Copies of this chain bind each other. A is one copy, B any other.
């Protein structure tokens, strides 16, 4: 058979290509018998409209990009990324969007590709995974007028984003430690990214709200690596905390080791709460109390938001925060049943 086009189908069904186009696109005002005739031909021939021609004529490709800047690559070996992509892809499938992946290994690649994305007009919009504070390409991206949403809170608050509520998550964690009766609650925080900032803010707020003071000596910093967690915990040990809220599970694993290495026990001497609920948290020694984020849901919401931006314009910026859950395991100790009624 000849190559199938709207014209071909039209000929076969005895109508013009415009009518076929209307049928394909679900345009309402068509005589039912005509619609049916056309649909039958489409059925029989297995015709699919050419996506490229369609994009050119409509100026809409139905392709969105997932942009993963160089610096976030470590995330890629995290399950975080897997869950996010799962959510995004699910939402794309549902909305008949094609997902293209922009993954870079150098800032040169990154710059070049972004240039292409912005000016070659292939892509309807972009999801950007980045919560770090310095995004050199951002001004150009904004100027290009291409719709995009961040996953993770960007530094610049005027941008659209979806994130989990890191402040509330950290607050929840620390509040729980307080309820457990812990007195000297330390934290291992991080710098250079907004998630870390927000978690620290939650730690701070929970302490302040319970009438406590912030003690600088109880604050240490890591860089999300296990080693940095180990080192930070070692630094905290001399000031004798009886609990520590760690801004990531991976660092918490390091902290657990440091505590064990010092001959102390978890949670008796020091209660530990992590953040992320990565699978290893369950198998940690002891199993790690932590904050679980709805990551796949974040991906789904990001796609929805992007579609909204594409259809309804970039202004005003949209924001969306999803709630997290506290997962209580042994590393924190568990609240008594009677206490639960207080909540």
Residues of A within 8 A of B (CB): 4, 46-53, 55-56, 61, 63, 66, 76-77, 79, 81-82, 85-86, 89-90, 93, 98-105, 109, 113, 115-116, 118-122, 279
Contacts and interface: CB of A to CB of B under 8 A. Distances in A.
Given A56-B53, A99-B101, A120 B76 contact: no
21 contacts: A46-B119, A48-B115, A48-B118, A48-B119, A49-B120, A50-B56, A50-B120, A51-B120, A51-B121, A51-B122, A52-B56, A77-B82, A81-B82, A85-B103, A89-B101, A93-B113, A99-B100, A99-B101, A99-B102, A99-B103, A100-B101
Contacts of A121: 50-52
Given A100-B100, A120-B48, A76 B81 contact: no
A86 B103 contact: yes
Contact of A52 (B61, B85, B102): B61
Contacts of A99: 100-103
A52 to B, nearest CB: 5
Most chain B beta carbons < 10 A, residue from A46, A50, A61? A50
Contacts of A63: 100
Contacts of A66: 101
Nearest to A46: B119
Contact of A98 (B100, B104, B119): B100
A120 B81 CA distance: 29
Contacts of A85: 76, 101, 103
How many copies of this chain sit in the oligomeric assembly? 2
A304 to B, nearest CB: 17
A47 B138 CA distance: 19
B122 A52 contact: yes
Contacts of A101: 66, 85, 89, 99-101
Contacts of A89: 101, 103-104
A315 B220 CA distance: 61
Contacts of A48: 115-116, 118-120
A142 to B, nearest CB: 16
Contacts of A46: 115, 119
Nearest to A100: B100
Given A81-B82, A82-B82, A90-B105, 19 more contacts: A46-B119, A47-B119, A48-B116, A48-B119, A49-B120, A50-B120, A51-B121, A52-B55, A52-B122, A53-B56, A56-B56, A66-B101, A76-B82, A77-B279, A89-B101, A89-B104, A93-B104, A93-B105, A101-B101
Contacts of A61: 52
Contacts of A122: 51-52, 98
Nearest to A103: B89
Contacts of A116: 48, 51
A342 B55 CA distance: 64
